[in-house]
């Protein structure tokens, strides 16, 4: 979109809430997976997934749902932008899913998104890519069931599993920072809202145990309601508590 918001980096996308609109992304395809298509009770569906790298050296999975076949090859630089309608932007979202028990942030583009190729310098397939990963089938679109995870190559992976292990540790750290940020917000609410009102109503100061108990109760409820997903995966700043 010519006059739309600036492209967002992968790190910025990781800090967005689940299902938040992404206002634009540009990156280079490093891997593609076979396009899947079929029909269920909601009609025809298709799902095409790629791994895309940005200029910061970060990688993210980009899934095209209900989109015409893209067939992008490694080395292709692409731009994906949301549709701007009367009700705002739609068609490109930050999504949280799970693969083999590990949470991960992905990009989801639907048929209303705008998808363009900005350069197409072909790169050779990596040694552990199977011929299946370059094949594409035709079809239209619906998100397949959650258990479908089109990200395992047909051939066995290389012996080293270090990148996968590092990714798991990084995702766990991000999840823990989000929980810590939520806990800090809960403690702030107790100090700025509950403590002064308690003093006014009872004439007494809340004890440290009462403050901790109140913050813990609010945190447990907030975490159960999923508010930690809205927290950034980097430490909060002083201005966040204003």
With bands split at pLDDT 50, 70 and 90, how would you rate the model's confidence at 4?
Answer: low
Rounded Cα–Cα distance for residues 210 and 63 (Å)? 47
Q: Is the pLDDT of residue 141 over 90?
A: no
Contact 70, 52 (CB under 8 A): no
Q: If you average pLDDT over residues 3-17, what whole number do you get? A: 83
- What's the pLDDT score for residue 164? 60
Q: Is the pLDDT of residue 111 over 90?
A: yes
With bands split at pLDDT 50, 70 and 90, how would you rate the model's confidence at 172?
Answer: confident
Higher pLDDT, 39 or 145: 39
Q: Which of 18-22, 67-71, 126-130, 213-217 has the lowest mean pLDDT?
A: 126-130
DSSP output for 140-169: ---PPPTT------SSPPPS--HHHHHHHH
The domains located in the chain, with CATH, are 10-159 (2.40.50.140), 170-241 (no CATH)
Q: What is the chain's mean pLDDT, rounded?
A: 81
- What's the pLDDT score for residue 140? 37
Of the candidates 200, 167, 36, 163, the one whose C-alpha atom is nearest the C-alpha of residue 99 is 167
With bands split at pLDDT 50, 70 and 90, how would you rate the model's confidence at 227?
Answer: confident
Q: If you average pLDDT over residues 98-102, what whole number do you get? A: 81
* Percentage of residues of the chain with pLDDT beyond 90: 48
Structure tokens belonging to residue 145: 């069931």
Q: Which of 8-22, 38-52, 161-175, 189-203 has the lowest mean pLDDT?
A: 161-175
- Residue 204: count other Cβ atoms within 10 Å of its Cβ: 9
Q: Is the pLDDT of residue 182 over 70?
A: yes
Contact 140, 37 (CB under 8 A): yes
Of the candidates 22, 165, 180, the one whose C-alpha atom is nearest the C-alpha of residue 92 is 22
With bands split at pLDDT 50, 70 and 90, how would you rate the model's confidence at 5?
Answer: low
- What's the pLDDT score for residue 122? 53
């Amino acid at each position: 979109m010519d006059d739309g918001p600036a492209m967002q980096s992968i790190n910025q996308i990781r800090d967005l809430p689940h299902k938040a609109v992404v206002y634009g992304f540009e990156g280079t395809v490093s891997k593609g997976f076979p396009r899947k298509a079929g029909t269920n009770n909601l009609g025809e569906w298709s799902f095409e997934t790629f791994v895309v790298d940005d200029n910061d050296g970060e990688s993210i999975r980009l899934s095209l749902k209900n989109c015409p076949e893209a067939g992008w090859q490694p080395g292709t630089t692409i731009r994906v932008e949301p549709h701007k309608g009367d009700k705002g932007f739609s068609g490109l979202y930050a999504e949280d899913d799970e693969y083999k028990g590990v949470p991960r942030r992905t990009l989801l583009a639907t048929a209303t998104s705008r998808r363009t190729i900005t350069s197409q310098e072909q790169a050779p397939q990596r040694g552990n890519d199977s011929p299946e990963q370059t094949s594409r089938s035709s079809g239209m679109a619906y998100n397949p069931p959650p258990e479908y995870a089109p990200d395992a190559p047909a051939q066995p992976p290389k012996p080293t599993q270090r990148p996968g292990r590092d990714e798991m540790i990084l995702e766990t750290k991000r999840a823990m920072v989000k929980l810590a940020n939520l806990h800090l917000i809960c403690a702030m609410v107790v100090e700025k809202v509950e403590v002064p009102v308690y003093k006014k109503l009872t004439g007494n100061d809340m004890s440290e145990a009462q403050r901790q108990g109140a913050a813990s109760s609010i945190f447990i409820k907030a975490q159960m309601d999923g508010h930690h997903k809205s927290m950034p995966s980097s430490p909060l700043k002083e201005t966040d508590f204003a």
